[in-house]
Chain A
Amino acid sequence: MTATYFRPVIAIMLRYFYLLRGTPARWMPVFAWVAIDIVLWGFITKYLNSVASSGLNFVPTLLGAVLLFDFFTRIMHGIAGVFLEDVWSRSFLNLFASPITIAQYLLGLVGTSTLTSMVSLMVMLVLATAVFGLRFFAYGLTLVPFLLILFFFGVSLGICTAAVVLRLGPSAEWLVWPVPAVVSPFAGVFYPISILPHWMQFIGKLLPVSYVFEGLRKIISGGAVPATSLVLGGGLAVMYVLLACWFFQRVFRHAVRTGILARYSAESLS
């Protein structure tokens, strides 16, 4: 791959940074919503610490889990959000009549979301550490595989939901935002998935993020995360990224074949 290959990727990223620079409202998901989440859950954990007689410290278990889940959500929403900018500005014709390939377009979405999500992660870490005493860095490099699994699964869901919107039309935007909320009960963000009914456990085991939160609880309780668990979570996440790319490509081809892309704002051709 040469520098020329990445020019369209940079174009997609640059477009979003121009938008960020020009509209303060676009900074809200990057800074404000994640900060509000940390403040809310920070105080909840403080309150729980004060009333619980077990001596269990809720800060790492709950606040740490919220922080990691918000990172996953930001990655997923970040990708879908950059894609939706093209929907809202009706740019598909100009964009896809250019020489950009689907791989370059998706790389642009992922690159943009990665940068904005890293800013969100920093904001959350600073707040959680400074205000609520979360010792996130105490776990050191152990957390890197967790972050990678969350990143890849967020990427896969972001690309997948973008494909759904491309297939179903602009109104399908409303399917994008609740996806993390739908995932969370199965992923065991706040509780071990062993307390779930069997059918929910089965779904949970198919979600890479469940291995992250199970692992997080193990580390906090002083145990070690089984390598097989990390490999399984990572393997699933990478597999979902590949499946999501394949799905987007397939939906794009369908949109080009049927004329949906050329007349996207019509939502359907029937």
Chain B
Amino acid sequence: MHHVLSIRDLRKAYGDKIAVDRVSFEVSRGEIVGLLGPNGAGKTTTISMILGVLQPDSGSIQVDGMDLATGRAQALGRTNFAAVYAPLPGNLTVWQNLRVFGLLYGVKGLSERIGALIGQFDLEKFRNVKCGALSSGEQTRVALAKAMLNQPHLLLLDEPTASLDPVAAREVRARIRQFAVSGRGGVLWTTHNMVEVQDVCDRVLFLSHGRIMLEGDPKTLPDEHGQPTLEELFIAVAREPLTLERT
């Protein structure tokens, strides 16, 4: 299977504190991989490194076969992301933001693409509204539209449904699943919502203290480790990571 993301022995330390410790994993085309773990486990550090805004101390990151260290622009051109902590500039309208980011990503047929995404994410009535004036849920939809602008081969989503109501969250999940099923790219998804993980992810990686402790199918993983639910397994990994470390 073709890997859209391939990470090998990724490591990052801030002084004495090791944030990410020899992490290796892949994401395949058409696959949705959940990156789970307690706060401070290293999820956002890992995503920041994949986005090229944080340099690993060692290890390699390849996006669609392009090495991020040597082909930054090419690798990032195949990637996009949405994260709750990275809102789009609030002083530009929805349309202006999509136009600016479309140009940054070199999207061809940009006006048509923006029109299609505005329709897909139900943003028509906000087209000329400044992003800063939108509710957090509406801003999330704009961020997701921006993340889809370049039809990325690798889509990184850091808690994309955190500020959405259940109906909007379900629609977003359906849209992301649709993106994965279309076979255009793969998705790396972080969330603390275990129901969402079981609903959406093909595979999960449990990260704790900067290391991957467990990996597997979110539907069968709890049983395999003697836990009744994925949430219980999450708590067990967070409390006693060493007993569950991936071999």
Binding site for B on A (CB under 8 A): 4, 7-8, 10-11, 14-15, 18-19, 22-23, 89-101, 253, 256-257, 259, 261-262, 269
Contacts and interface: CB of A to CB of B under 8 A. Distances in A.
12 contacts: A8-B103, A14-B99, A14-B100, A14-B103, A15-B92, A93-B53, A93-B83, A94-B89, A94-B101, A99-B74, A99-B76, A269-B14
Contacts of A269: 14
Interface residues of B, number: 35
A22 B130 CA distance: 10
B97 to A, nearest CB: 9
B73 interface: yes
Nearest to B103: A11
A97 B76 CA distance: 7
A181 B77 CA distance: 42
Nearest to A255: B53
B54 interface: yes
Central interface residue in B89, B96, B100, B104, by most chain A CB within 10 Å: B104
A58 B53 CA distance: 53
Contacts of A15: 89, 92, 96, 100
Contacts of B76: 97-99
Nearest to B75: A99
Given A18-B92, A22-B91, A89-B89, A7 B100 contact: no
Given A10-B103, A19-B91, A90-B87, A97 B51 contact: yes
B101 A11 contact: yes
B52 interface: yes
B74 A19 contact: no
B220 to A, nearest CB: 34
B126 interface: no
Given A7-B104, A98-B76, A269-B14, A89 B86 contact: no
Contact of B105 (A14, A19, A91, A98): A98
Interface in B130-182: 130, 146
A4 B107 CA distance: 10
A11 B100 contact: yes
Contacts of B55: 253, 256-257
B88 interface: yes
A259 B91 CA distance: 26
B234 interface: no
A252 to B, nearest CB: 10
Central interface residue in A10, A262, A269, by most chain B CB within 10 Å: A262
Contacts of B119: none
Given A89-B90, A91-B89, A269-B14, A97 B53 contact: yes
Contacts of A101: 72-73
B81 interface: yes
Contacts of B101: 11, 94, 98
B106 interface: yes
A11 B83 CA distance: 21
B54 A261 contact: yes
A10 to B, nearest CB: 6
B105 A99 contact: yes
B45 to A, nearest CB: 8
Contact of B92 (A4, A7, A19, A256): A19
Nearest to B50: A97
Contacts of A14: 99-100, 103
